[in-house]
Homo-oligomer: A and B are copies of this chain.
Amino acid sequence: MPRTITAYSNPLVKRVQALRDKRHRREEGLFLAEGLRILTEARETGRIPRFLFFAAASAAHPLVRALVTAVEDHGGEAIETTPDILSKLSGKDNSQAVVGVFATFEAQLADLDRRRASLWLVAERLRDPGNLGTILRTGDAVGAGALILVDECVDPFSTEAVRASMGALFTVPIVRTPWDPFITWLRSGPGQLVGLSLQTEEGYRDAPYTAPTFLLTGNEAQGLPEHYEAACDLLVKLPMRGKADSLNAAVATAVMAYEVLARHKG
């Protein structure tokens, strides 16, 4: 049976709120996700919250009931609470019907089966959580095998990244790795490493893509380091007709991902 919490001062409320902070996420190995659609998607992929907070008003909703059952079956705790506390937990004015606290998870390079997908996304020193979440969401849409985060990237379990991913955090495997183990793993099997660059004349629209393609996106401000570009099998550029010689990193990744997807198909 769900217990009820109505006091802000409740220690669990404070503990969950603290998960908006990176240090607490790391120490606890837990993170926050919110919204009925996203938590239901998580459930369907087998990710069940340790703690589930829901508003009394939505307790009868069939999807909320399904979540409560799943949480209790898996030894977690379902907690009925107030809209105010839900808002406090998620840090948003319009509270969602549910907030879940999940164990963080991570795939390893060795877990990835490169025959499973023809397109893989790789991002290097990504700094913006919104970009990371948006790239995950694009990864879901194009059926990417994984998102491989190279070197020090922003935390994929930050509330903003989880939110921007719109549930794709649960459907697209995430690997975090330094560059050297990544490139060693990549070269141990088939795989074309394609980097987006301004230092090439090769247009992205005519370039020869061969599956499995690993699409490498660089840091938002600095792009790819030179020796990472040198390690690519192919560098391509997007046309830039404007004043600024740049695109948002998540946008550039998506334009490239859809190009590669279409070209693989034929």
**Which residues of chain A have a CB within 8 Å of any CB of chain B?**
41, 44-45, 130, 134, 137-143, 164, 166-168, 171-172, 205, 238-244, 246-248, 250-251, 254-255, 258-259, 261-262
Residues of B near A166 (CB, < 8 A) are 244, 246, 248
- The contact of A138 among B41, B138, B251, by CB within 8 Å, is B251
Residues of B near A244 (CB, < 8 A) are 41, 137, 140-141, 166-168, 171
Chain B: CB-nearest residue to A166: B244
A243 and B171 contacting across the interface, CB-CB below 8 Å: yes
Residues of B near A251 (CB, < 8 A) are 134, 137-138, 250-251, 254
A241 and B138 contacting across the interface, CB-CB below 8 Å: no
A141 and B171 contacting across the interface, CB-CB below 8 Å: no
Residues of B near A171 (CB, < 8 A) are 242-244
Residues of B near A239 (CB, < 8 A) are 141-142, 258, 261
Count of chain copies: 2
Residues of B near A243 (CB, < 8 A) are 41, 44-45, 140, 167-168, 171
Residues of B near A141 (CB, < 8 A) are 238-242, 244, 246-247
B242 and A168 contacting across the interface, CB-CB below 8 Å: yes
B247 and A138 contacting across the interface, CB-CB below 8 Å: yes
- The contact of A255 among B240, B241, B255, by CB within 8 Å, is B255
When chains A and B are docked, how far (Å) is the Cα of A45 from the Cα of B243? 10
Chain B: CB-nearest residue to A252: B254
Contacts A130-B130, A262-B205 known; A247 to B242 CB distance under 8 Å?
Answer: no
Additional A-B contact list (9), CB under 8 Å, known A168-B242, A168-B243, A238-B258 = A134-B248, A138-B251, A139-B242, A140-B244, A164-B248, A171-B243, A205-B262, A239-B258, A248-B250
Q: Separation in Å of the A144 CB from the closest CB of chain B?
A: 9
When chains A and B are docked, how far (Å) is the Cα of A141 from the Cα of B255? 12
Residues of B near A164 (CB, < 8 A) are 248
When chains A and B are docked, how far (Å) is the Cα of A241 from the Cα of B258? 11
